[in-house]
Amino acid sequence: MIEKLHEECGVFGIYDTTGGDVAASTYFALYALQHRGQESCGIAVNDCGVISSYKDVGLVPDVFTRDHLEKVGSGQIAVGHVRYSTIGIPTREDSQPLVIRHVKGPMVVAHNGNLVNAEELKEELELKGAIFHTNSDAEIIAHVVTEGRLATDSIEKGIELAMDRLKGAYSMVMMSATKLIAVRDPEGFRPLCIGEKEGAIIFASETCALDSLGAKYLREVDPGEIVVVDKAGMRSIRTHCKGKGHVCVFEYVYFARPDSVVEGASVHEARQRAGAFLALESPVQADVVIGVPDSGLDAALGFSKQSGIPYGVGFIKNRYVGRTFIQPTQAMRENAVRIKLNALSATVKGKRVVLVDDSIVRGTTSARIVKLLREAGATEVHMRISSPPFMHPCFFGTDVASRDKLIACRLNSVEEIAKEIGVDSLAYMKVEDMKKIAQVTTGCDFCVGCFTGEYPIETPYEKPVCKYDLKI
């Protein structure tokens, strides 16, 4: 309803032989990861090699009633998933985790990311007789891993072989009859962490899922690492670890929850640091600093602290309007932002306002937000964006639009963008500052390809185009 970027998925897995309720733990963890995918969700539970699962379109509390959780049952291992679909209409078939059964036993896959060679692999598999039932890369991965598994004596060796063929972003949690496995691509585009609670080992896209269970954060799954948990304990396979990875920098700007830690860096502190950089690089005379909920709030606070301009609450957010809000008419579409956000006149009336947001994609939502502030009595609106302009598509699991739809590509200058969205001034974060906002402790670098067009790995297209237009 409000123009924002979306990240494809959140994954979770737990191995607990102490008698804990793994289905309930997965439910609460998915609730904590709901921001990463709001269109479908699912849970698969392993009870001594017998796997039961349930998934559907909808939010976690809507899909999983008490009856559904009871039907999934109890067990020792569980895998969960929340999904945002980047193409088509969300369907139950495309929901994850995927449960695969083959001659060497069952396998469950929950995937976050996007393969850049998905179409190539799919065609190769189809020519061998593979039949696909979904539009997700997870099913392609399942087929490739299964081929590797049939040629080896363990699932982890099958995954190693599969990683030689998979190119792109994949942070996955997988389950066999006896093992829970976490896998991260050699660049580490998407986050994946390890936690522990009372003998249980946990994998999750973000540390906020660990916090929801009272679990202790241990470390990140390293780029290229395979972590296997079974009755013998936890062990690591590092045949595809090549050193420094490139986590998506937008995890710190927008995707991750502010209470999460990604690659050892606090997301909350990274966003405040982004606001401070904006205040230093693009100062302005103003009376109040406000942020666009939710990810713009921390950056606004950082701008306020650095500049000395008072911080204020400029918008009240309607928490009961989801992404599936129906907009059947043009009039309703025009009012979408007004329904989601309401400007607080007491904060902005008669004042020069610094408005901080995480990004501008097409510009339509930004223009409507600025209009709300003008109508609430703001005399000036100076917009500051805690990321650089989007100039290129993302190939690794973020739905950055094609160039012709990006306002920074459509218009020739920042001044033209400012005029179109109706602000008195506009400034973006610099790319070089963007790389400094997160003080990571793991030695990981950042992917900033959607801003620069320079990607950590080769992309499959000669020119930047929207990869989703090419998907079947």
User: Which CATH number is 405's domain given?
Assistant: 3.40.50.2020
Q: Using pLDDT thresholds of 50, 70 and 90, give the confidence band for residue 43.
A: very high
pLDDT at 470 over 70: no
Helix, strand, or coil (residue 221): coil
Q: 77 near 12, Cβ under 8 Å?
A: no
Verify that 119 and 201 share a domain, yes or no: yes
Q: Is 208 annotated as a binding residue?
A: no
pLDDT at 3: 56
pLDDT at 323: 46
Q: Which residues are CB-contacts of 164 (< 8 A; sequence separation ≥ 6)?
A: none
pLDDT at 324 over 60: no
Mean pLDDT to the nearest integer, 407-414:
92
Q: Which residues are CB-contacts of 453 (< 8 A; sequence separation ≥ 6)?
A: 391, 392, 464
Cα 131–chain centre separation = 29
pLDDT at 461 over 70: no
Strand pairing category for 216-220 and 193-197: antiparallel
Q: Is 248 annotated as a binding residue?
A: yes
Q: Which residues are CB-contacts of 202 (< 8 A; sequence separation ≥ 6)?
A: 12, 13, 14, 15, 25, 29, 194, 195, 196, 209, 210, 213, 215
Domain of residue 342: give its range: 266-470
Q: Is 447 annotated as a binding residue?
A: yes
Q: 109 near 174, Cβ under 8 Å?
A: yes
Out of 9, 41, 193, 466, the active site residue is 9
**Residue 409 catalytic?**
no
Verify that 315 and 454 share a domain, yes or no: yes
Verify that 110 and 202 share a domain, yes or no: yes
How many domains does the chain divide into? 2
Give residue-wise pLDDT tens across range 251-288: 999 999 999 999 999 999 999 999 999 999 999 999 99
Verify that 231 and 102 share a domain, yes or no: yes
Q: Is 409 annotated as a binding residue?
A: no
pLDDT at 123 over 50: yes
pTM for this model (two decimals): 0.91
Residues in the chain: 472
pLDDT at 333 over 80: no
**Do the domain assignments include residue 2?**
no
Amino acid at residue number 128 = K
Q: Using pLDDT thresholds of 50, 70 and 90, give the confidence band for residue 319.
A: confident
Lowest mean pLDDT: which of 216-220, 323-327, 447-451?
323-327
pLDDT at 403: 79
Verify that 394 and 425 share a domain, yes or no: yes
Bridge partners of residue 316, in order along the sequence: 342
pLDDT at 443: 86
Q: Which residues are CB-contacts of 62 (< 8 A; sequence separation ≥ 6)?
A: none
